[in-house]
Amino acid sequence: MQTFQGKVVLVTGGSVGIGRSAAVAFAREGAAVVIAARRETEGIAAVKDIQAAGGTASFVRADVASEANIAAMIAHAVKTYGQLDVVFNNAGIEGKLGPIETLAAGDFDDVFDINVRGTWLVMKHALPHLTATKGVIINTSSVAADLGMAGTTIYASSKGAIITMTRTAAIELAPVGVRVNAVSPGPIATDMGGRFFGSLDNMHGFAKTNLPLGVAGHPDDIAEAVLYLASPAAKFLTGQTLTVDGGMSSK
């Protein structure tokens, strides 16, 4: 039996990278998937791929920096499929990287508006529907929240906020039957990962030297962790951050 048969899953930032892999994986396991993202062409392509494989999916263009967009994408999910069971709160940006003195207040605001405020607003607007289904929230953090990495003061801080938000929301929402966890990826071979390291070649070189497993991760590695956190197998897990980083943070 498919694990998520009869469930409705919303994936923000679902058009590319980790979000796309997660959307495909949820659909493979029987879920009706709503992909929400700013990139319409890529999002529609992801939906077509899911449908071609026999899955159920739809796309809604949304920017999580906009509360109106967030309300609309959640309304779309519920109107289209009748309920909401899982939210993978994955939309995020790395923003401008560099030494503190080279960054501006606007750079800070850009990252926190999407990574932190956007994540919080998605939880807020999804909560009434998740309470009805005793649903699950998975937020995307980063190993950068746990490790000191020069040039990442804004990005790493935003991802640290996600961990704290996840922990506190889990305590708050446990009485209404909603579980909240986070996934914390290490170096993953995505467009964002390439930008973060300067190129994918640089990322692979870094992974070979600095990760105990010696390789960068694939988006599917994170998708499988997300599916576990959303599944009944993790029913006793809430308020936790699952780090999937090839051993990077264990050194």
CB 75 within 8 A of CB 81: no
Nearest to 238 by CA among 127, 90, 139: 139
What does 23-69 look like in DSSP terms, one character per residue?
HHHHHHTT-EEEEEES-HHHHHHHHHHHHHTT-EEEEEE--TT-HHH
**Identity at 161, one-letter amino acid code:** A
CB 162 within 8 A of CB 146: no
11/34 Cα distance (integer angstroms): 6
Nearest to 148 by CA among 248, 11, 10: 248
Active-site residue (options: 155, 221, 229, 243): 155
* Residue 81 is a catalytic residue: no
Nearest to 111 by CA among 93, 97, 89, 98: 93
187/183 Cα distance (integer angstroms): 13
125/72 Cα distance (integer angstroms): 10
Catalytic residues: 155
